[in-house]
Structure 1
Amino acid sequence: MDIKQLKFLCALDETRHFGQAAVRCHVTQPTLSMRLRNLEEELGLELVRRGQRFEGFTEAGERVLAWARSLLAAHDGLYAEAAACRGQLVGTLRLGLVPLAGFDPMRLIELFAQRHPELRFQLYALSSENILEGLARNQLDLGLSYLDRLDREHFEGLELASTRMGLLHDCRHFQFDSPSLAWEALADLPLGLLATGMHFRQSIDHGFRSRGLTPQPRLETDAVHQLLQAVERGLCCAIMPLGSGLDAQGEHFTLTPIEDARTLSPLGLIIRRGEPRSALAEACFHEAATLLDGSPGE
């Protein structure tokens, strides 16, 4: 058994596709399949259910997969720990982000990148539930998500921002004279919103519902870039977080604050408490507290 076989196994879990797993691992599909069969023979277990395509893992495969993730995390942690002892942060930081976070993640990435030129980053747009799952399964190092209902026994959170909301619009299509807008002024506008069930959308729905308002969204999507495209083309306005940097994505975008509009929960940086915990993740988490003064932003 070698570390590459474990990487192949975890890549297959993440992609759920033999070809995509092979591409991610920079090998051919036959090579990946052969190495996984070698692992099965060595362990004396069938790990992968195969048909015409990948059909999932056997029960034994799921159990071995959990150990593989832990071993890979420990392997990466060893190299990160050695680098930290040399005063360096190296490796790849895997960061899960909720859509429409009221904190510009590039602010954090830029701080890390300036201080640690050898550090690389993988960013994943995920729901808050998937971020916690990814942290628990060692598929993510850190999460940028909401702190409500956070299980403090298993996760540690650093509050970053109390997310305020504004109305994003393209000034070629919509114009507002007021420096801020009331919820009542938004109810009849053609709105583009994230899909129901997403945390930011829940906060928007609460803002309207608590005032007895029932807007009829013109467009709903789970993709932020589609919201931005629709706003730029004048199809709708969108409720977005202030301080997210999204208003800089369009030449004619304007983000007007909404009065008394905040998400239901503050945003925070999250790390798992349990071992094995990535040395890289731990170093970045504590460095973030120092770089950002550990105080909530606006």
Structure 2
Amino acid sequence: MDIKQLKFLIALDQTRHFGQAAALCHVTQPTLSMRLRNLEDELELTLVERGQRFEGFTEAGERILAWARTLMAAHDGLNAEAASCRGQVVGSLRLGTVPLASFNPMALLLPLRQSHPGLQFQLSSLSSEQIIDGLSRNQLDLGICYLDQVDTRYFEAIELGVTTMGLLHDTRHFPLNGPLHWEDLAGLPLGLPSKAMHYRQSLDLSLRSRGLEPRAVLESDSTFQLVQAVGCGLCCAVMPLDFGLQALGEHLQILPLEDASIRSQVGLLLRRSAPRSAIAEQCFAQAQKLFGA
């Protein structure tokens, strides 16, 4: 067994496709398939359900996959620790972030990159629950999520502020002036995040408390698709302020909504328990200097 076999297994889980997993690992598909069969022979287990294409992992495969992730995280952490001993911060920072909040993750990534040119980033858009789980399983190094669901016995946290809301619109299609009130949304076609998202639940609560029913013409769990819909004039969207959305188009404008915020703070999390990578600890320490009280 070697590290490359574990990388191949994890890549297959990420892509759910043999050819794409091989491309991700910069090998041919026959090479990837052969190395995975060698791993199965060594473990005396069938890990992958095979037909004409990838059909999933066996129960044993799912259990081995969890260990493979842990071993890869330890391998990456070892390399990062060695670099740290040499006075360097190199490698990949795995950061999970909620998709809608009044904190632009680029405000963290840009200064980190400027301080550490050898640093790379893996940025995942996840729910708060997924971020907490990913940190607990050592699948993420840091997470940006809502703090109302966080047990601070297990995580260090830096508060990044409360999420405030505004109405994103394209001035060519909806020439609006602000500031706006919730009641001003009643007659507008709206693009809304999916109902399972924390941000949408807070938004619905604000609307219902005022006896308002939104006129949703589009629901999506993709911020990009909501911005696309706004840009083409299909709708307006209630989005976080200070999220950098106006920079995505010259005609995009976001107007503040009176008394519109999510009560829960957004924060940056680092798990307290070992193993913690040197990259995670050093980036968290720099974030404390940037955003800590």
* Alpha-carbon spacing, 1:116–1:20, altered in 2? closer, same or farther (3 Å): same
3-state DSSP of counterpart to 2:24: helix
User: CA contact under 8 A between 1:160 and 1:269: conserved in structure 2?
Assistant: yes
Q: How does 1:1-298 map to 2 (within 5 A)?
A: 1-178=1-178, 180-292=179-291, 294-295=292-293
3-state DSSP of counterpart to 1:124: strand
* Alpha-carbon spacing, 1:20–1:271, altered in 2? closer, same or farther (3 Å): farther
Aligned-partner Cα distance in 1 for 2:34–2:154: 37
**Aligned-pair distance for 1:106?**
0.8
Identity over aligned pairs, percent: 66
* Alpha-carbon spacing, 1:137–1:53, altered in 2? closer, same or farther (3 Å): farther
- Which piece of structure 1 moves more, 132-141 or 110-119? 132-141
**Aligned-pair distance for 1:197?**
1.3
1:41-88 CA-to-partner distances (Å, cap 9, x unmatched) read 222222222222223223332232222212111111111111112222
Note the residue ranges of structure 2 that are not aligned, 5 or more in a row: none
**Aligned-pair distance for 1:24?**
1.2
* Alpha-carbon spacing, 1:137–1:26, altered in 2? closer, same or farther (3 Å): farther
**Aligned-pair distance for 1:165?**
0.5
Aligned-partner Cα distance in 2 for 1:29–1:269: 39
User: CA contact under 8 A between 1:170 and 1:232: conserved in structure 2?
Assistant: yes
User: CA contact under 8 A between 1:70 and 1:276: conserved in structure 2?
Assistant: no
Root mean square deviation, CA, Å: 1.7
3-state DSSP of counterpart to 2:93: strand
User: CA contact under 8 A between 2:162 and 2:263: conserved in structure 1?
Assistant: no
3-state DSSP of counterpart to 2:284: helix
What's the TM-score once normalised by structure 2's chain length? 0.93
User: CA contact under 8 A between 1:73 and 1:277: conserved in structure 2?
Assistant: no
User: CA contact under 8 A between 1:89 and 1:119: conserved in structure 2?
Assistant: yes
Equivalent residue letter for 2:192: L
* Alpha-carbon spacing, 1:153–1:11, altered in 2? closer, same or farther (3 Å): farther
Query: Post-superposition, which runs of at least 4 consecutive aligned residues in structure 1 deviate over 6 A?
Result: none
User: CA contact under 8 A between 2:91 and 2:118: conserved in structure 1?
Assistant: yes
3-state DSSP of counterpart to 1:156: strand
3-state DSSP of counterpart to 2:285: helix
